[in-house]
Amino acid sequence: MRIVLVGASGVIGQAVAKELGARHEIVAVGSRSGDLRMDVIDAASIRAALTEIGMCDAIVSTVGKVKFASLADLTEADLWVGLKDKLMGQVNLALLGREHLNDGGSITLTSGVLSHDPIRAGSSASMVNGAIDAFVRAAAIELPRGLRINAVSPGVLLESMPSYGPYFRGHQPVPGARVALAYAKSVEGARTGQVFEVL
């Protein structure tokens, strides 16, 4: 398969590239590194990168910024970070990516554990992750040409614990290599409209 991996240089992206790259061609895409550049909050940037790539068999997104802040301090501007980047960035990637997928191709987005297991200062992330999960379930019933769409919802990554550990007390961290298996299941499997949790 020819797989477009958006966010290839991130912690999850690197693990996915290692897992899927052993069997398939990976087109690494990032905002600052990779084979091609893409800014997911800019639809024109997504369109330009996909046009340059051409046709592919799978699009995998491991990107998405959200603002962590206590509810007391959370502002509308803080909420827009996650809404524009992690939510609409991935939704636009899916919508624009449809035309660049071969028949039977797949789209895999990234949500996260906070959609159903919230933490303090994580209400924006919970909102965005829940919206992504709902989007893939609904979009799956309308995609044409045998196209599939799923989300991977990982817990906090073991590799990210130095930065995020204080926010995720009591959570069992998961290694990036195990999270990458869920992306392989989405890309190489046959299911659609699924949220693959890795806890």
Residue closest to 66 by CA, chosen among 118, 132, 122: 122
CATH among 3.40.50.170, 3.40.50.720, 3.30.420.40, 3.40.47.10 for 2-198: 3.40.50.720
Res 187: pLDDT: 98
Enter the DSSP assignment of 54.
-
Terminal CA-to-CA distance of the chain, rounded, Å?
28
**For the segment 129-179, what is each residue's pLDDT rounded down to a tens digit?**
999 999 999 999 999 999 999 999 999 999 999 999 999 999 999 999 999
Residue closest to 64 by CA, chosen among 106, 11, 135: 11
For the chain, what are the domain ranges? Answer: 2-198
Sign of CA dihedral 28, 79, 87, 23: positive
**For the segment 59-75, what is each residue's pLDDT rounded down to a tens digit?**
999 999 999 999 999 99
**For the segment 149-159, what is each residue's pLDDT rounded down to a tens digit?**
999 999 999 99
Q: What is the pTM of this model?
A: 0.97
